[in-house]
Structures are given as structure tokens and as C-alpha cells.
Chains A and B, each alone.
Chain A
Amino acid sequence: MTDPSAPPSPARDLAVERSRIADASLAPSGHEAIEWARRNSPVLDGFVRRKVDDGSLRGKKVAVVVHLEAKTAFLATVLADAGATVVAAGSNPWSTRDNVAAALVDRGIEVHSTRGSTNEMWEADLLRVADSNPDYIIDDGGELTIRMARDKPALYAQLKGVSEETTTGVVRLTELERLGRLPMPVVAANDAALKHMFDNRFGTGQSTVQAILALTNLRMPGKRLVVVGYGWVGRGIASYAHAMGARVTAVEVDPIRALEAHSDGHEVADLATALSTADIAITATGGIRAITTRHFNALKPHVVLANAGHHDHEVDVPALIAESDGIDEVRPGVTRYKLGTKPVYVLSEGALVNIAGGLGHPVEIMDLSFSVQALGCHHLASNDLAPGIHQFPAELDRAIATAKLASRGITIDHLLEDQTDTLSEILEADTFHSWGSEGADQ
């Protein structure tokens, strides 16, 4: 099955020749998966598709290096439909879907990725993408940008812009700028309201809870659940787990966030105390070694440990391996470590549980995130931005939200002139009066 919107065969032949994918025959199911993503991405498939199709991306080469599955693939097709030449690779070797990669090649898009490739092969894939001499990068964790800065300086100097997906990537690219090694403009797509407030909270929140329940077949009502880290991701997980009937304890190093968790109705405790109650513990710090050797004694028998943060080392699996008397995969994606006689379960070997052990974020959430990315890339291509980190334009944030609301048939209000509180009016008025006190019986 070839997609009806596929370009004429020369582009496809070229893509087939240049790509490294697992199995081209998987394309039909990949097309189905992409079509499902399209159907549930009304913003990317409507407002954003029209906006980017103004010629500014025509003939430009765009490297897309994000978890290579159906939603990312749909983003790639939207950019390609706008005239860009897209080259894609995965931002993590374990998240690539081979059927989706095959479908992209079938649509004439060059892909370098296979699921479960070695780290060396994955690095080589990224360098192949770099060698294609991209104008723009849609990056995740800055993985391609940083490698080009290190390994491909000539091609790096020719980059016209980068749009970055994650908190981690924005931190890394900001550091590159500080070192004086960022010669091109970067749009911090992650910092868009429609990215981090939705993707990180609702998307990771729902999909993490979902993956844990699917991997274990356990019950959420009545569980004692510990969330380590109360940032956007931790807030999302805690709120869904609580709403589904779990008793949540939040663990924080920041007193303001700890107080926020307390005010949200969660228990707050230090990690050792919290872990001694936990049936399920989820790391969401974005750092490393959140749960490590010094905490193992506090764990209850049969506790389930899962990670929702960026790094695979928040649950210190190497330390668990070192301390364990036996290691078995007892269900797909569920590994049991025996600490003495105490069984402890780790999901998806400590990797991001919603992606490694589930389907990743819901499609509609990625519709918003990738609308930000597509418009970020378009913003770079249609403006002459100075080198350095740029915020995602607020009016584009609002435009995406407006398009999403419209797709749901939702109307909202607009402030009218007489509803604004104008300071100059107060300053120029003869007498001061405060709204609300007028005529009140005080």
C-alpha cells in the first residue's frame, strides 16, 4: 500500500536508497498508525498545515530527531507537504517504531533508524542525518545539535536554526550559547505554554499512570503511591493517581514545591519515610539516582518502581543489579530484583515508562507539542533571527490554543474596553474609588 499523498516515485526511490530502516514491508501498518495520528491531530492537520505552507519551508532541509513513532511521523509529513525535504532519525534507539519508519520512507522521506539498535548504530544514524546538511533541526534533548557541534563543525556552521523539544535540551543549548558555540538561532519550543503545561503535565501524567497499570495489571484505588519530584510531570502523575483513588505522597527538595504538593492535598515526606509506605514509587525529578542504594532498605516487599523523568538513571538500576540476589523478568516489561528475600519490581528497566512501556503521550497532546515544533521551525525559516536562544512567540502559543478550542467547537470571551482596569484613569480621577466598595454595607 502506498499512501495516496506520496510524492512521485523518484523521491521515494531516493529515500529508499539513502535510508537505513528495519523492514520496508512494514509500511502498510505504519501508514495506518500515521493516519490515526493525523485523524486525532486537528491543529497540526489544519491551522498549522495552512500556516507553514506559505513557501518559506520550500526546498529547505529539515532534520527531525524526535522519538520516531506515528505522531512524530505525522509532523514529518506536514513539513514535507509544505515543501521541506525532511530527514528523520530517532532521539532514542528504543522508541523507534519500525513500521512507522517504513511508512515514512514509502512517502519519500529519508529515515535513519531501527528499533533497538546499538548505541553506536544510533550515533551513526544521527551523523548520517547531519551529513545530509540540514538547514533546520527539530531536536529532542539537543541530541543532533550537540553532536554536530562536536563532530561536524563545518555543517554545524551552516545550520540556520534549531527548534528544541525538551527541558533538558533547552538547558544544554543554553549552556552551548554561554560557551559561545551557538552560531544559529534556537527556538525553545519546550518553554511554550502549550508544550510544557500540557505535554509534561497532562501527557506524561496520564500516560505514566496508564503504562504502570498496563504493565502490572495492578489496581490504583487504595494504593500508597510516592512521586519523587513535584514539577510539571510529578504534578500530573500525582493528580491522576489521587483522582483514581491512590493515596499520594510527594517528595521534594524545593520547599515551595513541597508546600504546593501539601496544599494540593497530598502527603509530603522525606524520601526514606515515604518509601517505607510505598506500593508504587515513581521518579519524576529529571535528575539522576533519585532512588539509589541508600534507599533500598526502606522499600517494602513487592514495591513497584517506575521512572517518568528524562534520564534512564533516576531509579538506580545498576545499583539494584549490584545488590540483588536474583533478577527475573516476571512479566513483559516487569523485572523482579531480589534484595535478599525482598522482591522489588522495576518497570521498563528504569527507562521512561510511558514511552518504553507504553504508547507514549496521547495523540492530542502531541498535536499541541508538534504544532509548537512545526511553527517554531517555520518561525525560524520565515524570520531573520539573531543567533541565540529565543522564546516561542506568545502570539503563536495563543493561536495554537485558539485553533485547538475551535476544533472542539468551543467559544470563549474577549475582554472589552470597559472591563479593563486602566491605571491612568485612576491617577487622573478627582476622587479615588475602589471597585466593589461602592454602596457596600460595611
Chain B
Amino acid sequence: MSTPDVGRSMIDFASDFMPALAAATGVVRANRRLDGVRVGVALTLEPKTACLVEAIASLGADVAVLGSSNSTKPEVAAALAETGVKVFAEKGSSPERSTELREAFIDHQPELLIDDGAFIVRRIHEQRRDALPSLRGVAEETTSGVRPLRNMAAAGKLEVPCLAVNDARTKLLFDNVYGTGQSVVMAILDSTNLQMQGKVVVVVGYGKVGRGITSMARSLGARVIVTEIDPVEALAAHHDGFAVAPLMDALVDADIIITASGIGHSLIADHVAAMKDGAIVAVGGAGPPEFDPTMLGSLTEPLVWGETVRDNIQELKVPGGNTVFVIAEGHCANTSAGEGNPIEVMDLSLALQMRAIDHLAASDLPAGVHLLPKEIDDEVAASQLAAAGLAFDTASDAQIDAAQAW
């Protein structure tokens, strides 16, 4: 099969497992708000997001997509390009070329933008203000993007309405927990061919992603140590039966270290020097600089990248000291050393994205960060339950009264 055909086949396979997206697309199609609208999609470019892109295009929108150099699936990009979608994504592109692609994507002047990590919306606010007047709204996919948007809003610097799609319950409780949990752990096992049984795994951060990763790792037989900066989350990890320790202490015994903090500089060179020789480092939260080996801390000499010993596994050496193995150069392991989150989980997240841009197109929200309406959240969850043949209960009048009593 040719490259685009392989991509087409993978997109179609994914589409068969995405009933919530199909339902959301049906709702949005009836609303007829996206016809002729310029929509920019800046998500990891792979079969599931391609399903969203094609669904948006099928509603008459003029769609452009941006994909990163490390996580773009070339066969999927090729298949999308064949359908007339404007694709700005080249696997393995140089930093210069990646910048060119990003700027060309912004040149498309999206009216509605689906952003991931707030990279494009920040770029537009800071360097590409020419694209700001036409931008009507942004739907943000991830925790590490919602945070800077809230910071911008607090500083009075956010000039467009942004929907924190990430914060929808149907996103946060599923994509971040089950999706990233499974896909990060599987990417580590697939890259290394190692076993999880008996491994000492340190997970940095016990938010939604950290919870998913710890649970999956423990399911496969690992002993997990959680490190946290938030005492409440640390206490929660303790109650879930995990060891809790300061990162510097936990590292010493770790076979595998996984960051899930979503915050830059959570794991730095200092930490690498404290690891066991041969330890494996993977990033599960946000990409660089969550793991930042260039930040030396108390070290005096910089770390040195060594050989690529297997696909997606590179040595990182402490001069005169230990060598550790880093997965995907510190990019998110699940998207860079794997195929990203499972299809059925992304079905929920991308269905929410579909409903989010429709909501942005319909409403006249002021600049700032907004939550997706609860009804949309509930409808998307219910649509996947229905597809699985599962029913749920409705509150009785007495229950509603009781819940509203005071």
C-alpha cells in the first residue's frame, strides 16, 4: 500500500472506535455554524486527531493542521493532505523548518483554534498579533496549556475567549488518567522490551496523569514511589497505597523514572546524577522542559548525550558518573515513542473539542478562560455509554429535591 493509503486505512480503523465523536459531529452538523469557517487544529497529528480534522472539514470548515516534528505520523499527514486539508507537519523536520511550518499555519489566520499546550495562542499574542483580530476563540486540550492561559488572563493579557476543554470531566478523568496512564507505560515497555514486574518506578507528580501512570505500572507488577510538591496529593498517594518520598531520595532506588508534573524543570541534571546507572527516564506529562537536563542545579559540568542504543532510547551521561537511558529525548513518551493515547479515550476528548469549537462559534464569550458547559460534558459521556450498550439512572424528583435542600 502507498503511504497515504496506509494512513487512510489507519484513520478509518480509528473512526470505527469513535462513537462519541460521530455523535458530536451529528449535533454540530445540525447547528450549521462551521460552514466556511477557518479552523486551525494544532494537536499531535495521528489517526485519531485526523478523524476530528476530517469531521470538522466535513462540516464545510476550511481546516489547517499543525503537527510537531517528533510526534507526526507521516502516513496520516499524507492521507489528510490528499483530502484537501492544509497540512503543516513533517516528521523529523529541523527546528528551522518546524518554525516555518508553524508560521505558515498561523498565516492561515484561524478563526477557531484547537490548541495543545497553548503554544499557538501564546505565539499569536506575543509575536503574531496580525493573527489576533480574526481569532474568535480557542479550545485548549491540555493541563499544561490551561495553566498559562489562566496566568495570562490573571495578568489581563488574554485577548480571546478560551475554552478549557481539558478541564471537562469527560476529558480530565479519562484522557489524562486512563489514556495517558496506559499509553505512557506501554510506550516504555514497547521501547525497552523490559518487564514491569518487580520494577521500582518513581512517578513525579500525582495529578490526573500521575494517578493513571502509577495505577497502570502497579497493575503490571511495579513498586511505585510517588513524589509530590502538593501535600494533599502526596497524602492521596499515601492512601492509594503508594510509597511517598522526596524526589532526591526516591530516585536512588528507581529503575524507571516517569515525570507527570506538567511543569517545566521538574526533573533536572542534578536528579540525573543521583539516579542508578542504567535507570530509564521517560516523560509522561508535558514535553520539554518538564525534563530539563540542561538545568544543572548543583552540578558544575553539563550532561552529555551519548549513543542511541535502541529506537527512541538515548544515553545521557553524567561526566565521570552514571549513564541513564532517556526515552524520546524527553518528549512525551506516549506520543513520541508510541501512538499516543488509546482511540476510545481520544474519542471522548475529541468529541469535546468538536462541541467546543461549535460552542465558541455560537456564543459571544468575553476574553478569558471558560469551562465547557456541563450539558455538553454530560452528553459526550452519555454518547459513549450508549455506544457500549450501557444505561445509567436519572435522578428522581425526590433525589433532586434532596440534593437542593438546605
Contact = CB atoms under 8 A, between A and B. Distances in A.
Interface of A: 32-33, 35-36, 39-40, 70, 202-203, 206, 210, 213-214, 216-222, 240, 243-245, 302, 328-332, 334, 336, 343, 358-360, 362-365, 408
Contacts of B13: 330-331, 334, 336
Residue picked from B197, B221, B310, most chain A C-beta under 10 Å: B197
B169 to A, nearest CB: 16
B17 A206 contact: no
B186 A206 contact: no
Contacts of B218: 243
Interface in B1-39: 1, 6, 9-10, 12-14, 16-17
B403 interface: no
B193 A206 contact: no
B343 A217 contact: yes
Contacts of A206: 189, 195-197, 220-221
B178 interface: yes
A216 B343 CA distance: 9
Contacts of A240: 219-220
A331 B73 CA distance: 13
Contact of A210 (B189, B197, B310, B344): B189
Interface in B336-368: 338-340, 342-345
A214 B190 contact: yes
A203 B194 CA distance: 10
B9 A218 contact: no
A363 B219 contact: no
Nearest to A245: B178
Given A210-B190, A244-B216, A330-B13, 18 more contacts: A32-B309, A39-B278, A202-B221, A210-B189, A217-B47, A219-B179, A222-B388, A240-B219, A244-B220, A302-B16, A330-B9, A331-B10, A343-B16, A359-B190, A359-B193, A360-B193, A362-B193, A363-B194
Contacts of B220: 206, 240, 243-244
Nearest to B342: A219
Contacts of A218: 17, 342-344
B182 interface: yes
A328 B195 CA distance: 33
B198 interface: yes
A217 B342 contact: yes
Given A217-B14, A218-B344, A362 B9 contact: no
Contacts of B343: 216-219
Contacts of A36: 193, 309-310
B135 to A, nearest CB: 32
Interface in B310-337: 310
Contacts of B309: 32, 35-36
Given A219-B182, A243-B220, A364 B47 contact: no
Contact of A331 (B9, B193, B197): B9
B301 to A, nearest CB: 25
Interface string B196-223: 1110000000000000000010111100
A362 B14 contact: no
Q: Which of A70, A217, A365 has the most CB atoms of chain B within a 10 A radius of its CB? A: A217
21 contacts: A32-B309, A32-B310, A33-B310, A35-B309, A36-B193, A36-B310, A202-B195, A203-B195, A206-B197, A213-B182, A214-B338, A219-B179, A220-B182, A222-B388, A244-B220, A302-B16, A328-B9, A330-B12, A358-B190, A362-B195, A363-B194
Contacts of B278: 39
Interface in B273-315: 278, 307, 309-310
Contacts of A214: 186, 190, 338-339
A5 to B, nearest CB: 17
A47 B47 CA distance: 47
Given A36-B309, A221-B182, A302 B17 contact: yes
A433 to B, nearest CB: 40
Given A32-B309, A330-B9, A363-B195, A210 B186 contact: yes
A99 B48 CA distance: 33
B198 A408 contact: yes
A244 B179 contact: no
Contacts of B345: 219
A236 to B, nearest CB: 10
Interface in B174-197: 178-179, 182, 186, 189-190, 192-197
Contacts of B48: 217
A362 B255 CA distance: 15
Contacts of A216: 343
Contacts of A363: 192-195
A362 B198 CA distance: 12
A245 B220 CA distance: 12
A32 B10 CA distance: 31
Nearest to B8: A330
Q: Which 4 pairs across A and B sit closest by C-beta, in order of nearness?
A: A243-B219, A362-B195, A219-B342, A359-B193
Contacts of A222: 344, 388
A267 B352 CA distance: 34
Contacts of B47: 217
A344 to B, nearest CB: 12
A245 B12 CA distance: 26
Nearest to A404: B198
Q: Which of A218, A221, A302 has the most CB of B within 10 A?
A: A221
Contacts of B16: 302, 343
Contacts of B198: 408
A328 B9 CA distance: 9
Contacts of A245: 178, 219
A217 B190 CA distance: 12
Contacts of A202: 195, 197, 221
A217 B339 contact: yes
A36 B314 CA distance: 12
B242 to A, nearest CB: 15
Contacts of A219: 178-179, 182, 342-345
A275 B202 CA distance: 39
A202 B221 CA distance: 9
A213 B197 contact: no
A216 B341 CA distance: 11
Interface string B120-142: 00000000000000000000000
B267 to A, nearest CB: 22
B224 to A, nearest CB: 13
A243 B218 CA distance: 8
Contacts of B216: 244
Given A32-B309, A206-B220, A243-B219, A221 B193 contact: no
A328 B13 CA distance: 11
A239 to B, nearest CB: 9
A303 B130 CA distance: 50
A35 B306 CA distance: 15
A143 to B, nearest CB: 24
B219 A244 contact: yes
A98 B219 CA distance: 34
Contacts of B342: 213, 217-220
A218 B388 CA distance: 14
- Between B193, B309, B338, B343, the greatest number of chain A beta carbons within 10 A of the residue's beta carbon is seen for B193
Contacts of B339: 214, 217
Contacts of A329: 1, 9
Contacts of B186: 210, 213-214
Interface in B108-128: none
A408 B254 CA distance: 11
A410 B192 CA distance: 23
B259 to A, nearest CB: 21
Interface centre among A33, A218, A328, A360 (most CB of B within 10 A): A218
